[in-house]
C-alpha cells in the first residue's frame, strides 16, 4: 500500500517534444505528490508538487496532472530541452510535513538534439 509505481524507467525524447512520466499509487491517504529532479553528480531537488484538491499544476514548461479516481499522476515536460536530461522521481506522502516520503524508482530522461 505504500508503493509508488513509476514508468517508464527510461525515456528518450527529441528536442522540442513532450516528455511524459507516469506514477500510480495505492494508498488513498496520500495527499501530497512532489516531483524531484536529479542531475548527474547532484542530489535531487524539488521540481514541482501538487495536492489532490487540484487536477493540474503548471510551472513554466512543467505540468503535473492528477487523477484522484485513478490514483495516478503524471509529469509533462513541454518543449523538452537537452538541459532537461536528468532523472525524475515522483513521490507521495500523507501530509506535506510527513517524515515518510515514498519515492518512485525514477525515470532517466534523455533529450536528444
Work out which of 23, 106, 109, 111 binds another protein, going by CB under 8 A. Answer: 106
Which residue of 60, 83, 97, 113 would you call a contact of another protein, by CB under 8 A?
A: 97
Write out the three cell numbers for 75. 509529469
Q: Tell me if 34 contacts another protein by CB under 8 A.
A: yes
Q: Summarize as ranges the residues that interact with another protein (CB under 8 A).
A: 6, 9, 32, 34, 36, 41-46, 49, 89, 95-97, 99-101, 103-106
Amino acid at each position: 500500500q505504500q508503493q509508488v509505481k513509476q514508468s517508464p524507467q527510461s525515456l528518450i525524447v527529441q528536442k522540442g517534444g513532450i516528455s511524459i512520466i507516469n506514477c500510480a499509487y495505492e494508498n488513498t491517504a496520500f495527499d501530497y505528490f512532489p516531483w524531484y529532479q536529479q542531475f548527474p553528480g547532484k542530489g535531487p531537488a524539488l521540481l514541482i508538487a501538487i495536492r489532490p484538491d487540484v487536477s493540474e499544476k503548471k510551472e513554466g514548461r512543467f505540468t503535473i496532472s492528477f487523477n484522484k479516481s485513478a490514483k495516478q499522476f503524471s509529469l509533462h515536460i513541454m518543449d523538452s530541452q537537452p538541459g532537461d536530461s536528468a532523472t525524475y522521481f515522483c513521490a507521495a506522502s500523507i501530509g506535506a510535513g510527513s517524515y515518510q516520503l515514498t519515492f518512485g524508482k525514477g525515470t532517466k530522461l534523455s533529450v536528444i538534439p
